[in-house]
Amino acid sequence: MEDEGRWVFNRLADAYRARPGYPEALVDRLAELAGGAGARVADLGAGTGFLALPLAARGLKVAAVEPARAMLDVLRAGLGSSGGVELVHSAAEATPLAAASYDLVLLGEALQWVDPELTGREAARLLRPGGVCAVVETAFADTPFLRALSALLAKVNRKARPRPPGALRQLLSLATGAARIEEERFVHEVLLEGEALDQVLHSFSYVGPAMGAAKLSEVTAEARRLAVTHGGARWRRELTLRFSRLIP
């Protein structure tokens, strides 16, 4: 498989290190949905391991599927001597993983980057009877700082990639055949101090790689000013977990 169509994520791999992780409550819920320690998880579009690593730390066996080699390199560096994560260089739409072998098939903030039909069918192939397909999406919370930051980013680059309409329901329906999709919400907030705000902004595909050095410097300087104006760079995200179960 070639990375050419996803080259931007190879360029973003190092910047991803600065991104805040996921809340413990969300990781715990995903582990529960999978069945706990010993369960097998296929993390499609695993990136640098923000879900794969904490799930493995809870005793789950995770296949981290990622098309960008540089992302997998960062994930590998984060593994250290711990096990529990298999690195798989592959697109989500057609993996080399064994059929009917996974208790949880997971996409974390990757829905907008995959073909929902092909990925849904691949998830159906991977799931064991009774297994769960889960999708995690995030959005900025409605705070003064993040409203101002969103307006800034929309002004400088309107090419943020939205998910296709109906993609989530299509993917989950194909994956499990279930009419019922369950939904749970989580909130996570961290304070980005020092250069952390700059680094997180650089990790966005429509910011860091999309601008020249001078423009990027202007944007990060303005983002810092907004943080000062609004009492700090409080990175508050609203996370939505949607999932359905493959009926045995």
pLDDT value of residue 4 = 45
Residue-range domain boundaries for the chain: 4-141+161-190+237-245
- So what's the pLDDT on residue 142? 95
d(CA 72, CA 18): 16
**Per-10-residue mean pLDDT for the chain, 248 residues long?**
55 81 97 98 96 96 95 90 88 97 97 95 97 96 95 75 78 94 97 90 75 84 95 96 93
Task: Please give the pLDDT value at position 3.
Answer: 46
Enumerate the β-bridge partners of residue 238. 139, 187
Q: In the prediction, which pLDDT does 1 show?
A: 47
Instruction: Give 172-226 as a 3 state SS string.
Output: HHHHHCCCCCEEEEEEEEEECCCCHHHHHHHCCCCCCCCCCHHHHHHHHHHHHHH
pLDDT at 28: 98
Kindly report the pTM of this predicted structure. 0.91
pLDDT of residue 162: 58
Q: Which CATH architecture has domain 4-141+161-190+237-245?
A: 3-Layer(aba) Sandwich (3.40)
Contacts of 134 (CB under 8 A, 6+ apart): 30, 33, 104, 105, 106, 107, 241, 242, 243
